[in-house]
Amino acid sequence: MPSLSTLAPLAGIIASIPSVIAGFDPTSQSNVAVYWGQNSYGQGSGAYVQQRLSYYCQNTEVNIIPLAFLSSINTPVLNFANQGDPCTVISGSTLFYCSELEADITTCQETYGKTILLSVGGATYTEGGFTSTQAATTAANNLWSWFGPDTSGNIRPFGTAVIDGFDFDFESTVSNMPAFGNQLRSLMDTDKNKTWLLSAAPQCPYPDAADGPMLDGTVSFDIVWVQFYNNYCGVQSFVPGVSTQNNFNFDTWDNWAKTVSLNPNVKVMLGIPSNTGAGAGYTSGAALASVIAYSKSFSSFGGVMMWDMSQLYANAGFLDAVNVDLGKPAVTVPVITSTVTSTSTSKSSITSTTTSATTTAPGSTLTTITTTSASPTSTGGPLVNEWNQCGGQGWTGATNCVPGTSCVAYSIWYSQCNPN
């Protein structure tokens, strides 16, 4: 990573770029949410090991970051994989105090405008819910005291930092969850100091076995990011050019949003794996672009959710491509020349060209584009159809676009054939 002194002269250029930083926008179809916390790519060190939260918050292509996970509620346990190492045990509690996260959550919200949620559950959650509605209500009150508005005297894993809401990611049947969800919703609605969000991550088969009772018109959710992977109804089952899909069922979830959801304005987001190892049914390129285009035809569509951040950062160009598919404009900056060479492969918001080498961060949000129409110089060979990939670093496929389209570079990693 370049030193601070190296980046300092770039401040003027960065300041001149129009701001596109924003959190969740309920009126938008281009929200992007990426889970952080589980280091699922699995590296213990090196370029793609999970970094601290604030590192990813600099990325302008991401709006919402759910922190994964609070993996146990009744006996509370926070699990953030390698990023839990800096945390310290709170005396008399099973919870940890995470000073680094306290600082990062505030930075992500105030400096980068991110929406930060705490995800409850995950694949390792085994409590099965609550023994009674009263136990569920008590548990919701506890969560609110730990992670809601800062009240003196409460156990606070994130110190003075206050998250923006809660996410439910239960993978198996849980009991008395409507009471739990409704108590949290009631507490959030009574706090007028900020806009609170409640989200859920059901799997795509409808009704969802785990979250079904909460989604059956009983709890008011702001966002539902459906996991369209690891199932027959995932994005891999989408058939392009067919209005009625047999397996891919975004239409079912759109109907749920309009006819069953307690909140008629709930947004349904397309949940996808961000890399081949992130989940079964990984889809990219033109195939994913077709799925997103189809999903955008439904009024409840609110954007894309990805699992997870470590997998995403190890998949160069994927985030750029998803943002293009969502219709977000690419953010460009001039080519910046420096005499300092960075040996790090960590993601940066600036692409630096050195006298001896070029250091480019994979999937960076402020990308260097030297032309808006990169027409291939080769002749002959297969032609690339409209909206398909035609170039990018490491690309070995065809580069000639069909007539009426041009190969447009969105980042050093990804170019596609757009209509002239």
Where in the sequence numbering do the catalytic residues fall? 171
Task: Measure the CA–CA gap between 239 and 114, rounded to whole angstroms.
Answer: 34
Q: Give buried/exposed letters for 226-241 (b at 16+ CB in 10 A, else e).
A: bbbbbbebbbbbbeee
Strand arrangement of the beta sheet that strand 336-337 belongs to: 336-337, 352-353, 358-359
Residue whose structure tokens are 């070995």: 396
What phi and psi values does residue 337 have, to the nearest 5 degrees? -100, 135
Across-strand partners of 169? Answer: 121
SS (H, E, C) 356-416: CCEECCCCCCCEECCCCCCCCCCCCCCEECCCCEEECCCCCCCCEECCCEEEEEEECCEEE
Residues 6+ apart with CB under 8 A from 70: 76, 77, 78, 79, 118, 119, 120, 121, 143
Are the CB atoms for 133 and 176 separated by under 8 Å? yes
165-169/197-200 β-pairing: parallel
How crowded is residue 351: how many other Cβ atoms within 10 Å of its Cβ?
20
358-359/400-401 β-pairing: unpaired
Are the CB atoms for 99 and 158 separated by under 8 Å? no
Residue whose structure tokens are 């790519």: 41
Are the CB atoms for 287 and 238 separated by under 8 Å? yes
Helix or strand run (H / E) with residue 89? strand 88-89
Are the CB atoms for 192 and 169 separated by under 8 Å? no
Angle at 373 between CA 19 and CA 409, to 5 degrees: 55
Are the CB atoms for 256 and 20 separated by under 8 Å? no
Task: Measure the CA–CA gap between 222 and 116, rounded to whole angstroms.
Answer: 14
